[in-house]
Structure 1
Amino acid sequence: MRTVSHILVAVAAFSISGVVAQNYDVSSSAPGYAIKGKVHKTRSGLEIPLELNDGDGVDLYGKTIRDLVVNVDFETADRLHVKIGDKDEKQIPVPDHAYGLERPKTRKPAKKLNYDFKYTENPFGFQVIRKVDKEVIFDTSDYPLVFEDQYLELSTAVPNDANLYGIGEVTAPFRRNNEQNVTTVFARDAGTPFYENIYGAHPYYNEIRKGKAHGVFLLNAHGMDVFFSEGRVTYKVIGGVLEFYFFVPKDGKPNSVLEKYTDLVGKPFMPAMWMLGWHHCRYGFKNISHVNWAVDGYAKANIPLETIWVDIDYMDHMKDFTFDEINFPEESMVALSEKMHANNQRMITMVDPALSNNDSYLPYEHGKEMDVFMKNSDGSEYIGQVWPGFTVFPDWWHPNVTEYWDYWIIDWMKKLDLDGLWIDMNEPASFCLGSCGDGKANTDPPLQWELPEEDQIRIHAEEEAALKARGVSIPGDDRNLLYPNYAINSGGGNLSERTAPMTSLHHGGISHYDYHNLYGHAECSLTRNSLLKYKPDERPFILTRSSFSGSGQYVGHWTGDNHSSWAKLKNSIAEIFNFQMFGIAYSGADVCGFFDNATETLCTRWMEIGAFYPFARNHNTLVASHQEPFLWERTAEASRRALAVRYALLPYYYTLFEEAHRVGTGVWRPLIFAHPEVDAFLDNDVQTLVGTDILLTPVVEENATSVEGQFPEGIWYDWYTYESHVSTSPEEKVTLEAEMEHIPVHIRGGAILPLKTPAYLVKDTYASPYTLLVALDQDGEAEGRLYIDDQHSVQQPATSDITFSYKRGVLRAKGKFDYADAEKVGTIKIVGADDLTTASYNGKKFDLESKDGAIVLEGADIELTCGFTVKFR
C-alpha cells in the first residue's frame, strides 16, 4: 500500500482578463479514494470500485460523489483507456455518438502491450509506464483525486522542464511554457488574444521525453483549466467524468502518436484537389461588383485564384439563405457562380447557425413548426443576438433537426451551385450575456459595443440580472450551472458571456453547460451529412471556426479572427501545428491578418508562408484597408513566386493529404516531431516541414532580409538553385538570404518529389506532365511516393499508389497502377549527381542535359500505368 503525500508545491495565482486562476493547494486536503471490495476482470481489462476516504476536504467546489468506478481497458497495444466515473452514472460524459465521440467496442484486451498500468489501493492512484524504457509517463500517485458533481481534479507528475505540446484552442507558442501556466478549454467567440481560450476545445497533449513521445487525451466536453507547471500537469474540470486515453506507440515517434490518436477520434477528411488551390475572401465586399473586381484583379496580376468566398455581406440583413437585393441580388450571385465555374474556379459562401426569429423569415417559421431550436430552462425559445439581430439556434441533438437542416442546406447549395460552405460563429456566439430576453424579434437591434460606455455597462447589468432571475439550475438538476463555485479561467469571465446561457436546454433535457464545447462539432457532422445528401459522390467542403476532438474527419478549420501583426504572423505557424496535431490537417490562418491594416511588408511576408498553409486563404475585415495581394507589386511578385512552388508541389501535397486521411499524420510538421531526439528543435515553431521532404524557413520579422534556420542532419537542396547545404550539426543556425519577394525553401536529400508545371488554375496545373525531382542523399539514393485518384469523388473505383526509388543509378517505380488516366512522366531531374550523361528506358537511349544545377532527362514520355525502370550512366 502506498501513501499519497500532501506536501504540494505552491503555485502563485495570476490574473488573465481579470479572472484569477485558483492555485493548486485548495485541494491538498482532499481525502482521496480507496479501493472498495474486489477488483474485477472485465472482457477488456479491469473494473475497480472506489469509495471516498473519511476526512475533511470534501465539497470543495461542488457535491462530493462518494462511490466511483474505474474502468481500465487495454484497447490496443498502443492505446490504454482509463475512465473514472460515478457509480450511479449521473454525470454526463461525451455522448457515444458522431456529435461527441463514437468509442471503439473492445471485445478483449490487446496483447503485447507497449505500456504497463499500475495502481495503488489507498489512496487510489495510477501510473502508465512505457515498457520499452520503464519510463513512467503518467503518474497520479502523489496527488489527490477529487470527484465532485461540478469539480473534478486530477494531476500527473511530469519532468520539471517538460516538453508539452497541445491543449487548446489557444493562441500561444507551440511548446507550452510555465509562465502562462493555465490553459482553459472552453469554446469562446474571441479574436485570438494570446494565452486565452478561443473557438475550439481540444483537451489533448503530446509530450516528448528523452526523445520519445506519448499522448494524453481527456475525453470531456465540460469547461476545464489545465495547468502546465514545473513538475506537474493538473486538470480542473467543472463536470462530466475523467475519461483518459493514453497513446504509447512502440517506436516513440510523435507522428506515430498522432496516428494512434486519430485511430480513436477519426482521421482527417480527404480534400478534393481543387481545395488545395489558393482562396480569397473579404468581409466587407460592398457589392457584387466589388467581388468581381477581386476576381479580375487576381487574373490581371496572374496570381493564382481557385476559389472566391463571399462573407455575410451578401445576405439580406445578414440572414442565412437570403440575398441583399440591392448590393447582392440573387441573379448576380448566380451569375458570379456561373462565371467562376465557367473559368474552372469555385465559389463558397458563409452560413451561420444563428437564425433570425422574425415571423416573416421562412427558416424560422419552418424550424418553429418542427420545434428544433434550443430552449430556455422554462421551455421557451432561447433568443440570442448575432449578425441577423435577435436569433434562435438549432439544437443539433433534436430528432427533427436533420430533416430541417438538410432542407435548407441542400436548397441553398442548389440555388447557387456552391462548392462548399463556411460555418462561423458556432461556439455558439451570441452578443448578449445569456438570453437577450423573451419575445424579441428585431432584425436590426444596436450592437452593444457600438453604444456609449455607460449604456454598455447598463445593458450588461440588466442582462446579468435577467440571467440570475431565470435561476441558476434547470428542472431536476440542482447544480449551479450559471456560476459554478470553481470559476474556470475563461477570458470571457462569465460562462454565458457571448454565448448561450449554461441553463439553456438541448433535446432530452441536457443543459448547454454539458454540451457547450460540442455545439460546433455537432454542426460540422450534421452539415457534412447534408452536403453528402446534396452530392453523394463529391467530397464535401466545410470550413468551421469551432471544433472539438474528432472534427477533422468532417471539416477543415481556420484559426479565426487574427490580427495584421508580426506577432500573429509568427504565431500562425504554431497554431497550424496544433491543429495538425489535433487531427485537422486541412487548416490555416487568415493570410495577411483579419483585424487591423496590413502593411505591404507584412502582407508580402505573410503571403510567402501563407502560400504553403494546408488551407491557404487571404481574408480580412470590413473596417480594415484592402489587402488583396495584387495591390502591391512586391506582394504580387512574392505571391506569384510562392504560389508557383505550391502549385508545382500539388501532387506532393495531395499525396500527403491522402497519408493524413489514411494514417493520421499532419501535412505540416514541426521539426521536433520529425526529429524528437534533437533537443535543439524543441522550441522551433517557425520553420516548417511539409511532410518529410520540404523545409520552409519564413521571414517573420519586420524589415529582415535574411533569416536563421536549422537543418536536420543530411543534405538539403535550395528549391530555386539546387545549391546544397550539408548539415552535420542540427544545433547550428544557418543564415539564409531572403530578399523581400523570397521565402527560403529546401528539399531533403533522399527525396523524390512528383511535381507539375504551375499554372493559374489547379486543373491546368494538373494537366501538365509529371516531373520527377530526384534529390540524392549522401549515399546517392532517394525515394518518394505518389498517390493518384480522380481528385474529387468520395468513393474511388481506381487509384494508383506508386513508390519511386533511386539507387546505384537506377530509378524504379513500383506499386499499384490502377488509375488509367494519369498524366505521363515527361521530365526527370536528378540533383546531387554530376557525372551522368545518358539514360535508357524501354529500349530507348536519352542524352542528359546539365541545366540549372540538375541533370535533366526531357521527353521521357513514361506512362504511369505500370512499373518502370530508368537506368542512368
Structure 2
Amino acid sequence: MEAVTPREVSVQDEAVDKSTFKKCNQIAFYRRQKLLHPGKSSYRALLESVTLSDENVKFQIIHEENKVLLQVEICEIEGNIFRLKIDEASPLRARYKVRDVLIKEPTTQRLFISQNEGGILVLSSVNEDYKLQVIANPFQVELQSKGETILSMNSNGLLYFEHLQPKPTAENEEAASDSSKETQEDLGLWQEKFGSFLDIKAHGPSSVGVDFSLRGYDHVYGIPQHTEGLLLKNTSDGDAYRLYNLDIFGHKIHDKIGIYGSVPLLLAHKPNRTSGIFWLNSSETLVDISTKAVHGLSGSAAETAKQKAVPLTDVRWMSESGIIDVFLLMGPTAFDVFKQFAQLTGTQALPPLFSLGYHQCRWNYEDEQDVKAVDAGFDEHDIPYDVIWLDIEHTDGKRYFTWDKKKFQNPRKMQEHLRKKKRKLVIIVDPHIKVDPKYTLYSQAKDKGYFVKDRNGQDFEGICWPGSSCYLDFTNPEVRKWYADQFAFKTYKGSTNILFVWNDMNEPSVFKGAELTMQKDAVHYNNWEHREVHNLYGFYQQMATAEGLIKRSSGKERPFVLTRSFFAGSQKYGAVWTGDNTADWSYLKISIPMLLTNSMAGISFCGADVGGFIGDPEPELLVRWYQAGAYQPFFRGHSNMESKRREPWLFGEKNTQIIREAIKERYVLLPYLYTLFYRAHTAAEPVMRPLWVEFPGNIETFGVENEYMLGKSSFLSFDKSYPFSYLCSKLNFYDQRIRTILPWLCFLQIPVFQRGGTVIPLKTTAGKSTEWMVDTSYELHVALDTEASAIGELYLDDGHSFQYLHKKQFLYRKFTFHKSILSSRDESGQYQTMCVVERVIVLGFGHQPTFVTACSKDGKEKEVVFTYDTKTSALTLENLALSLAADWKICVN
C-alpha cells in the first residue's frame, strides 16, 4: 500500500468530527453500569470468612442475586496509604492486573482487627490514626481518621463486577428469544458495534466499577488528560470524564473526552486537608462526579456539624475490564499526596539540563540546509535555543531509524555541526512500522513475532503515516529490550549522542481504526486483549525508548524522551505535551489548567506547543504564548506542516525583541528551574502548581486556574485583574522584573512575581544555549517577608550524567537571609564548580545600609559595593565574586 501523504491526512483530519469518537452513551459497559442506580448494594460481606496476615486482611463478599463470590483484600501501606483489591474468588481465567506501573510491590503494615461482630468489621492502623470500618450488609467500607469519616466506598451501592462466564453455545443462542438477542447486542455483552467496526469480546463482559463518597469535599482535581478547567465538574448531564487514550486532532476546548494520555488519579481538597484516589486500571475508564450538600456527618463530626449542610462529592469509577485495585492516599497535605503517589509510581526523572532550554520544532524542517539555516537564524538574531527537532519527513519513506537519503545525506555531519554550536537534535520515532519486507526493522520484528496480533492471530495491520503498518507489542519485555537495542549507534546509522527522541502517535493512532485507534480485540503478549492494556501502550514505548538511550551510553547519560501518550508512572521516563492544540487564545488559556493537572498527577515535565500546532497565530498571540511558555516546564515552539513558518524572527523586529527577551528570561531562570526539577525528582514536589497547593487554607485560591506558582517562590498571573487581596495582605509579593512590591503590575508582559520570604538563584545573563552558560556567574534575588527574612536553595550538577546519583556528584546549597545576614551553606553533595555569585538583589529592604561586608568561611572579609533604590526598597550588591561552592556570609549594616 502506498504511504499516506501529509496532505491526504490533513484533509482527512479536517473532516474528522466528534462523531468519529464515542459519546458516553455509545460505550456498552458504561450503559450497562448506568443501569445500576444509587441505592442498597446487592453485595453482602461474609465477615466469617475474614483472615488476617502480616500483609493484609482478606474476606469474601457475595452478590445476593447471582451468588458470585468476590475476594476483597485490604492492606495498609507505610505513609498513610490504603489499598483495596476486589477480584473474583474463582474466575474462569485470570483477570488482567496492571504491571510495571508500580515501581515495586508496596511494603505493607499490619492491620489489627478491633471489632468483628454485629455485622461490622473494624480494622485499625498501626498508629491508630486511621480505622477502616467494613459494614457487612449492605457491603461498604468507611475510612476514618480520628473518628471522622474521610471517605467511604460503595455507600451508594454502585459496586459492579461482571464475572467471567462461558461463551454461549450455538444451542443456547438458538434457544434465546429475538428480544433477548437484541438486548444482549444493545448491551454489548459479547460483541459491540460502532459504525462499521465490530469488537468481538472473546471472554465476554468483564467490566468493574464502584463509587466513593468524599465527606466535606467539594473541590476535586486530577484525572488528566482532558481539555478542561482545573476543577473537575459535575457529570450529571451524562458526559462522564473519559480516560481512553485517543489521537484527536484539534481537540475541542472544555470536553471530557479522553485525549492522548490518562492518569487515573483524583485529588480532593478542603481547607487544610487533601486526599487522593488512585484507580489502577489500564482499560477504558469513565469517571462520574457529583457534588452536593448534605446534612450532618457521621462520627464525631456529627456533633459539630449539627445538621449544618456540608459538601459531599461522589466519584464513580467504571472500567471495561480488569480488577478493582484502588489506592486511597490520605495526605493529609497536598504534598503528602504527591509523595504517596510517587511512592507507588515513581518520581519525575531528573531531565538533562539542555532539555529545560528552548526547543524549536515544526512539521517539518526540510533538509540539512534548512536545519543549518534555522540554527544560524537564532545566532543572527541573538536568541538562545538548545534543540532543533525533525518530524516524520526526515526518514526514508516514514521508516523510523532511517534518513531520507536526498534531504539528509550526511546526518552525522549535520549533528557534528550542531554539537560545535553546543546544541542537540531530537528526531521522531513512532510505534507503527511500515509493512515492507525490505525494511530491516519490519522484517526482523515480523520474524520474531514482535507485532500485536489481530483476533485471528495474524499481525494487526492498520493505516498510519507510512500507509499499511504493523504495531510493535511493547507490553512484551522481550520486544522492549529489542527495541531499546535499535538506538545503538551501530544499529541506528547516522545517529550520535546528541540525538534524542520524540515518541508520537502512540495512543496508538490508527487512521482507519475504530475511534482512530487499535481494535480492542487485538491480542498482545500473554494473550491479553488490547482492551486490557490500551492506556499503557504509550507508557511502554516511552519506557523502551528511555532504556534504549541509557543503554547506548552504557548507562552513563540521562535520556530525553518526549511522549504524546502516557499513563500513571510515565514521569519516570521523560516529558509529555498536550498534543495537537490550535493557534487560538482559548488554547493558550486552557493550556494552564491542563499543565497544572498533569503536574498534580506526577508529571512535572510537561508543556504545550507554543503558538499552537494547528493554524497561524496572530503576532500578539504568539508573543504571549512565548511569555507563558518561558515559565512552564517544557518549552517548545511547534507548528503543523500547513502552518506558515514561524521562527521567532519572522514577525517584525518589535515582536522579535519581545520573544527574544522571553526566551532569555527562561535561560536566566534555569538555575531555579533545575532546582525545582531536583525537588520533583527527590521529593515529588510539582514544578508547576496551583495556588491552592501553596495556600491550602484559603478557599479563594481553590478554583484559580489562570494563575499559578512555579515552585514556592514564583507566582504568575495571566489575568489583568488581581483578585487575591489575600496574597497582598498576608504575604509580600514582588514584581520579578522591576523589583517593586505589589500591587504594581506590568501589562507589557505576563506578570511574574516573587513571593516574599524566598531566595531565587538566577544566571546573570543568557547564553546561546545551556552549554554556553556552564561558567556564567549567578545572582540571587532575595525577597523579604514581613519578618525581613528569606530562604532558598540551589541544586547543581554536570547536567547530563547519572553521577549525581551514583557518586553524589552534585552541589546543594541553602541560602538564608535573617537579621540582615545572607548566608550560603552546603547541604550535601561534592560537585566542584568555578562559578561565583556575582550579584545579590534584596527586595523589600527597609532602609539604606551604612556599609555591607562579605565574609568567607576562612574568615576573610571584604567590603561590598552596593546601591539602594529608595523608591523600590531594592538593595543591590555588586561585584561579589563569592564562590558558589563555598560557605560565606554577607552582613548588611
Which of 36, 51, 73 is residue 27 of structure 1 equivalent to? 36
Matched, 1:127 2:142: yes
Number of the residue aligned with 2:821: 810
Alignment match, 2:244: 186
8 Å contact from structure 2 (residues 584, 617) kept in 1: yes
Partner of 2:130: 115
What are the superposed Cα offsets for residues 558-580 of structure 1, whole Å, 9 maximum, x if unpaired? 11111111111001011111111
Q: What is aligned with 1:697?
A: 717
- Relative distance call for 1:559 and 1:154 in structure 2 (3 A) is same
Q: Quote the residue 1:470 is aligned against.
A: none
Change in Cα spacing, 1:177 to 1:613, as seen in structure 2 (3 Å) is: same
- Shift of the alpha carbon at 1:276? 0.8
Q: What SS class does the counterpart of residue 39 from structure 1 fall into?
A: strand
How is 1:574-613 mapped onto 2 (pairs within 5 angstroms)? 574-613=593-632
Q: 1:788 to 1:735 in 2, by over 3 A?
A: closer
Cα distance change on mapping 1:159 and 1:571 into 2, 3 Å: farther
Flag the 1:399–1:804 CA change in 2: closer, same or farther, 3 A: closer
Q: 1:406 to 1:697 in 2, by over 3 A?
A: same
1:355 and 2:401 are equivalent in the alignment: no
Amino acid at match of 1:718: D
Q: Is residue 321 of structure 2 the alignment partner of residue 239 of structure 1?
A: yes
Q: Could you tell me how far 1:93 is from its partner in structure 2?
A: 3.5
Q: Secondary structure at the residue paired with 1:409? A: coil
1:254 aligns with 2:329: no
The partner residue of 2:98 within 92, 95, 98 is 95
Matched, 1:504 2:518: no
Deviations 1:413-464 (A, max 9, x none): 562214310000111111122xxxxxxxxxxxxxxxxxxxxxxxxxxxxxxx
* CA pair 578-413 structure 1, distance change in 2 beyond 3 A: farther
- Residue 215 (structure 2) pairs with residue 137 (structure 1): no
Offset from partner CA, 1:261-292 (integer Å, 9 cap, x none):
11111101001111110001001333333333
Contact 1:607–1:639 (8 Å) recurs in 2: yes
Structure-2 change in CA distance of 1:20 and 1:785 (3 Å): closer
Aligned amino acid, residue 537 of structure 2: Y
| 1:753 alignment partner in structure 2 | 760
**Which deviates more, 631-640 or 374-383?**
631-640
What do the CA deviations read for 1:393-415 (whole angstroms, capped 9, x no partner)?
11123354134313322246562
Deviation of the 1:16 alpha carbon: 11
2:784 aligned partner, one-letter code? L
Match of 2:452 in 1: 374
| Partners of 2:140 and 2:152 within 8 A in 1 | no
1-structure distance, mates of 2:145, 2:645: 53
Decide whether aligned partners of structure 1 residues 816 and 507 sit closer, same or farther in structure 2, where only a CA change above 3 A counts.
closer
Residues 370, 400 of structure 1: 8 Å contact kept? no
Question: SS at the partner of 1:74?
Answer: strand
List gaps (5 residues or longer) in structure 1: 1-13, 59-64, 434-495, 700-705, 726-733
1:201–1:288: structure 2 CA closer, same or farther, 3 Å change rule? same
Q: Relative to 1, partners in 2 of residues 1:599 and 1:119: Cα closer, same or farther, differing over 3 Å? A: same
Given the alignment of the two structures, is residue 203 of structure 1 paired with residue 261 of structure 2, yes or no? no
Alignment equivalent of 1:530, drawn from 535, 548, 562: 548
User: Aligned-pair distance for 1:838?
Assistant: 1.7
What code does the residue aligned with 1:19 have? K
- Aligned AA for 2:824? A
How many pairs are equivalent?
A: 767
SS at match of 1:168: coil
Q: Which moved more, 1:639-648 or 1:667-676?
A: 639-648
State whether structure 2 residue 848 is matched by structure 1 residue 848: no
Q: Any gaps of 5 or more consecutive residues in structure 2?
A: 1-17, 112-124, 164-205, 293-313
| Separation (CA, whole Å) in 1 of partners of 2:208 and 2:566 | 23
Counterpart CA distance in 1 for 2:820 and 2:835 is 24
Q: Does the CA-based 8 Å contact 1:31-1:53 persist in structure 2? A: no
- Quick check: 1:658–1:787 contact (8 Å CA) kept in 2? yes
**Aligned with 1:409 (options 487, 496, 513):** 487
CA contact (8 A) 1:780 1:808 kept: yes
Q: What are the Cα deviations for residues 787-826 of structure 1, in whole angstroms up to 9, with x where unaligned?
A: 1211111132222211111111111222236212251222
Are residues 18 and 735 of structure 1, via their aligned partners in 2, closer, same or farther at CA, if it must alter by over 3 Å? farther
The aligned residue for residue 315 of structure 1 is 395
Alignment correspondent of 1:773: 781
In the alignment, is residue 558 of structure 1 matched against residue 570 of structure 2?
no
1:159–1:125 distance in 2 versus 1, CA, 3 Å: closer
Pair 353,599 (structure 1): closer, same or farther in 2 beyond 3 Å: same
Q: 2:738 aligns with which of 718, 721, 730?
A: 721
Q: TM-score, normalised by structure 1?
A: 0.84
In 1, are the aligned partners of 2:810 and 2:829 still within 8 Å (CA)?
Answer: yes
Match of 1:291 among 365, 371, 375: 371
- 1:839 correspondence with 2:852: yes
For residues 140 and 522 of structure 1, what CA distance do their matches in structure 2 show? 33
Which residues in structure 2 correspond to 1:337-348 (within 5 Å)? Answer: 337-348=415-426
Q: 2: CA distance between counterparts of 1:199 and 1:148?
A: 28
RMSD (CA atoms): 2.3
CA distance in 1, matches of 2:508, 2:34: 34
Q: What is the Cα deviation at residue 212 of structure 1?
A: 1.3
Q: Is the Cα contact below 8 Å between 2:508 and 2:537 reproduced in 1?
A: yes
Going from structure 1 to structure 2, the CA distance change for 1:399 and 1:670 (only over 3 Å counts) comes to closer
Report how far residue 184 of structure 1 moved: 0.6
Aligned-residue offset at 1:707: 4.6
CA deviations on 1:472-521 (whole Å, 9 max, x unpaired) are xxxxxxxxxxxxxxxxxxxxxxxx43222111111211111111111111
Aligned to 1:764: 772
Matches within 5 A, 1:790-829: 790-796=798-804, 797=807, 798-814=809-825, 815-816=827-828, 818-829=830-841
SS at match of 2:556: coil
SS in 1 for 2:712: coil
1:324 is paired with a residue of what secondary structure?
coil
Q: Partner residue of 1:647?
A: 667
**Which stretch of structure 1 is more off in the superposition, 711-720 or 587-596?**
711-720
Distance 1:144 1:828 in 2: 60
CA distance, structure 2, for counterparts of residue 256 and residue 31 of structure 1: 33
| Aligned-partner SS, 1:410 | coil
Partner of residue 454, structure 1: none
Shift of 1:151: 2.3
Q: Would you say 1:513 and 2:592 are equivalent positions?
A: no
- Name the CA distance, whole Å, in 1 between partners of 2:98 and 2:234: 33
Structure 1 stretch displaced more, 305-314 or 858-867:
858-867
Paired AA for residue 773 in structure 1: H
Secondary structure in 1 matching 2:816: strand
- Tell me the distance in 2 between the aligned counterparts of 1:751 and 1:683: 25
Aligned match of 1:277: 357
Q: In 2, distance between residues paired with 1:403 and 1:517?
A: 20
Q: What's the secondary structure of 2:705's corresponding residue?
A: coil
Alignment of 1:486-501 (within 5 A): 496-501=514-519
* Whole-angstrom distance in 2 between the partners of 1:715 and 1:593: 35
Amino acid at match of 1:518: L
Q: Secondary structure at the match of 1:791?
A: coil
CA–CA distance in 1 between the matches of 2:646 and 2:721? 25
- Asked if structure 2 preserves the Cα contact closer than 8 Å seen for 1:603 and 1:627, the reply is no
Q: CA deviation at 1:96?
A: 3.4
* Structure 1 counterpart SS, 2:792: strand
SS state at 1:355 partner: strand
CA contact (8 A) 1:239 1:514 kept: yes
Q: Secondary structure at the match of 1:869?
A: strand
- Does residue 45 (structure 1) correspond to residue 64 (structure 2)? The answer is no
Number of the residue aligned with 1:830: 842
Q: CA deviation at 1:18?
A: 6.5
> Residues 15 and 348 of structure 1: is their aligned pair in 2 closer, same or farther, counting only changes over 3 Å?
closer
For 1:5-24, what aligned pairs fall within 5 Å after superposition? Answer: 19-21=23-25
Q: What CA distance in whole angstroms lies between the structure 2 residues aligned with 1:629 and 1:128?
A: 54
Find the residue that maps to 1:47 and give its secondary structure.
strand
The answer to whether the Cα contact below 8 Å between 2:40 and 2:138 also exists between their aligned partners in 1 is: no
